[in-house]
Amino acid sequence: MLYFLKWGTMSKTLKQHFKDLNYGRVGAFGNDVSTLRTRRLALVHFQLFDHAFLRGLWTNLSEIAPGVWRSNQPSPRRIKRYKRMGIKTILSLRGHPAHPMSFMLLEQQRCAELGIELVVANLNARSVAPKENYLKVLDLLDTLNPPFLFHCKSGADRAGLVSALYLLHVKGMSLNEARKQLCLRYMHLKCTKTGILDHLLTCYESDIKAHGPIAIRDWFETHYDRDKIAASFNPLWKHS
């Protein structure tokens, strides 16, 4: 019995230590890029804990409209490539972490070096965000001049939703056309918890059928009900 108690305590300690490493809360590992040493540590953290090694070849890069691109989280090297493509602004949909983290610091540093404007908005992949967050994104999409790029972590879910919002709000495309941005081609899985983003658009469609045509921004302002959408969503894979 004592052995199992010790093992349980050790297991909790290891999990907490791993969590601290993941969130850049151990020494200067992943939370500083001000020196050559700490930047190297941040790059290691970025590769291991932000899973950048998986995005070395898989960029999820796609042009959804002339000069408007979506992708997954870019590395500093890929941001340099985007500069050569003419990208002037990058919109990160990952928000500002509570503590400085490698993905954010490296992106900020490289954008500053290259003269790319970095804009940040906070959306969720597995839950719906407050109304104000979506309105902020729509306002940003109104003001950003192509060529620009937006990204989340994988480029599948949040980037897919914002692609749909851009096509609806800026390009005036149909909902059926816009929702194609949330699809398996970009590794978006509707049967998981990320399917709540599809459900959000389905709720928008339901209100159109019930009340008549309504612009997506007006819908967020007057009809969007975060709690109702969350309560009515039932993913097929509940543990995803």
Which pLDDT score is estimated for 239? 64
Per-residue pLDDT of the chain (240 residues; tens, 9 = 90+): 554 445 455 556 667 655 666 767 777 888 999 999 999 999 999 999 999 999 999 999 999 999 999 999 999 999 999 999 999 999 999 998 878 899 999 999 999 999 999 999 999 999 999 999 999 999 999 999 999 999 999 999 999 999 999 999 999 999 999 999 999 999 999 999 999 999 999 999 999 999 999 999 999 999 999 999 999 999 887 766
Closest CA to 148 of 197, 205, 86, 214: 86
Structural domains of the chain, with CATH: 30-231 (3.90.190.10)
**151 within 8 A of 61, measured Cβ to Cβ:** no
Which pLDDT score is estimated for 83? 98
pTM score of the predicted model:
0.91
Residue with tokens 């050790």: 10
Structure tokens at 54: 């998986």
Structure tokens at 15: 């999990």
Which pLDDT score is estimated for 110? 98
